[in-house]
Structure 1
């Protein structure tokens, strides 16, 4: 199973944006050091839920600091950016990194981003398919022409893709309609950490029923936090995550009159602990194996910032490295949480 980290760069209460970004960047370095397969970076605007507003820029820095690990965006939001501009930047990173860049794209949400960037609800609600098709044409080259929603004359694509036919693209999906869009184009799914195994399995099945390839390398995001005992791991998450979630959920402001998120932050934090590998290493290994069996998705990226503590984050990256080695037959899952800091 390929293992990677999923970085939100969340700002927890009492922290600065710089602390959040430094913690995420340290996790990139640690992922390379413990031989993880991938690093994926989230993108959010105007909120403490995640303080990286441009996943492509962060990905460029991460690629420049590493030599082996793949780096992806989870996700670059197509609704608030021009698809050709995203394609150009993806092609640049594809060339400069020797093919280590993966582009994750998504629709985004009905938030104030649409007002600030001038995209509007119409493009959010009805323009995603047009945008993704234009992005794929631009990422493939050698030329690209406009569409009704993005009118422009035909232009050459520079640079040409280093990875053929285009850099790897995955699609974040939270609805059956988006799953079908990805399946029709043979693009793997990015499945979020807010849903459990049964829903993820249902999306994978709908993907196959919609004509998607059976061997598509879908990606499943989970929350991972490790301590010597499961009770301790859950307590550490529950002591910190509700404060972050409270502020982050409140900052998701709809652009129109629809209601915003209404999740209770304590209940949601506990829900994440129950869904995901939060516990000792053996518990986490068993939980990841069971999830892979249930969903059929064997490519996992773990959100390792669930407490906001930089030391905890490095400990969790080291734990994921230990789990990867054990899953690859390279060694047993032996170290306790108190030993994992040495690995990171």
Structure 2
């Protein structure tokens, strides 16, 4: 059975603080580690009232320091916001402190609106140099055999695993060309998922990091004891996207019984494709939904986002998701034995 991992945005829920959001993230990571999840990634977003993981490298250090075995990384670092050398030093430091447990996922979006992007990086054309910046960054992790004048210390010789993240065909092509693992952001932009996966697999060139393609697929999973309760919990992330569409991003709102009471049908229809790669329901519903996604995408790994307002419900959701994976693995073993 393919591994399951966790993608966390450290949600700041209404009435709460970034401090509590970050403490909840560590608690969730520790729970995920006990449940056997493969890796725990946090994402870089800026100027977002409901997301506490803006200083992504710092959050990764906090999570890695509070866990023991689970891999911890970025899903991702938005490289155009940063100097490749600075990111190499940050992740070289993380790898030095937590050897063999750090992943570096890279994206080329700003992780913010355009005004915030300009405040972050001053030069809005930095995204155009993303491929060159990825290559430069990877070179900083290579052994010191070239006598290059500028070095990342820590960083030299550490070979931190690099992943390319994307929600379009560009990242798929770059990951294939460089022979890197690829993660698609289908949890909020699934439109080009299947085409991107096909391009990535067809054009993949083996590299020192990977001999074969490795495709991670992101999916929202909201699991609860009943379909009705899961659907209610899911209204929190639906509200997040509705507010973002209105240009009014805010802290994650509590779930509601009926979205149509406050939101017009045309706005609800507008977010339906965005959240189309979501599995919401009881354990049996989640199991069927995950099986369908695995069969459809032939993913090598699923990375699960669990956008839930109540922390205890979120812990329960990843428990039920882990149980669904166990059930799917059992089915797979049975089918193999029969075959």
Taking structure 2 as the reference length, the TM-score comes to 0.81
Q: Partners of 1:251 and 1:70 in 2: how far apart? A: 34
Q: Partners of 2:238 and 2:326 in 1: how far apart? A: 32
Displacement of 1:161 in angstroms is 5.6
- Higher mean alpha-carbon deviation, 323-332 vs 25-34, is at 323-332
1:117 to 100, 103, 120: 120
- The answer on whether the counterparts of 2:233 and 2:309 sit within 8 Å (CA) in structure 1 is no
Relative to structure 1, the CA distance from residue 136 to residue 296 in structure 2 (aligned partners, 3 Å threshold; closer, same or farther) is same
- The answer on whether the counterparts of 1:7 and 1:41 sit within 8 Å (CA) in structure 2 is yes
**Matching of residue 245 in structure 1 with residue 241 in structure 2:** yes
Relative to structure 1, the CA distance from residue 62 to residue 200 in structure 2 (aligned partners, 3 Å threshold; closer, same or farther) is same
Relative to structure 1, the CA distance from residue 318 to residue 211 in structure 2 (aligned partners, 3 Å threshold; closer, same or farther) is closer
> Structure 1 residue runs of 4+, over 6 Å off?
none
Relative to structure 1, the CA distance from residue 317 to residue 23 in structure 2 (aligned partners, 3 Å threshold; closer, same or farther) is same
- The answer on whether the counterparts of 2:221 and 2:280 sit within 8 Å (CA) in structure 1 is yes
Deviation by residue 1:241-278 (Cα, 9 ceiling, x = unmatched): 233334445268xxxxxxxxxxx764466556653221
Displacement of 1:57 in angstroms is 1.2
2:154 to 152, 159, 165: 159
Match of 2:198 in 1: 205
Displacement of 1:98 in angstroms is 2.4
Match of 1:303 in 2: 305
Equivalent positions of 1:224-263 (< 5 A) are: 224-238=221-235, 240-249=236-245, 250=247
- The answer on whether the counterparts of 2:85 and 2:137 sit within 8 Å (CA) in structure 1 is yes
1:176 to 163, 166, 169: 169
Match of 2:283 in 1: 281
2:218 to 212, 216, 221: 221
- Structure 1 spans left out of the alignment, 5+ residues: 146-152, 253-263, 333-344
Q: Partners of 2:331 and 2:156 in 1: how far apart? A: 35
- The answer on whether the counterparts of 1:13 and 1:244 sit within 8 Å (CA) in structure 2 is no
Match of 2:260 in 1: none
- The answer on whether the counterparts of 2:142 and 2:156 sit within 8 Å (CA) in structure 1 is yes
Match of 2:188 in 1: 194
Equivalent positions of 1:1-344 (< 5 A) are: 1-109=2-110, 111-124=114-127, 126-142=128-144, 154-159=149-154, 166-192=159-185, 193-196=187-190, 199-213=192-206, 215-238=212-235, 240-249=236-245, 250=247, 266-267=268-269, 270-271=272-273, 274-304=276-306, 306-329=307-330
- The answer on whether the counterparts of 2:82 and 2:121 sit within 8 Å (CA) in structure 1 is no
Q: Partners of 1:271 and 1:235 in 2: how far apart? A: 19
Deviation by residue 1:64-96 (Cα, 9 ceiling, x = unmatched): 111111111000111111111111222222232
Taking structure 1 as the reference length, the TM-score comes to 0.80
Q: Partners of 2:317 and 2:146 in 1: how far apart? A: 43
Displacement of 1:226 in angstroms is 1.0
- Structure 2 spans left out of the alignment, 5+ residues: 250-265, 334-339
- The answer on whether the counterparts of 1:4 and 1:38 sit within 8 Å (CA) in structure 2 is yes
CA-atom RMSD, angstroms?
A: 2.8
- The answer on whether the counterparts of 2:25 and 2:63 sit within 8 Å (CA) in structure 1 is no
Q: Partners of 1:141 and 1:201 in 2: how far apart? A: 36
- The answer on whether the counterparts of 1:44 and 1:52 sit within 8 Å (CA) in structure 2 is yes
Displacement of 1:225 in angstroms is 0.8
Relative to structure 1, the CA distance from residue 172 to residue 138 in structure 2 (aligned partners, 3 Å threshold; closer, same or farther) is same
Displacement of 1:22 in angstroms is 2.6
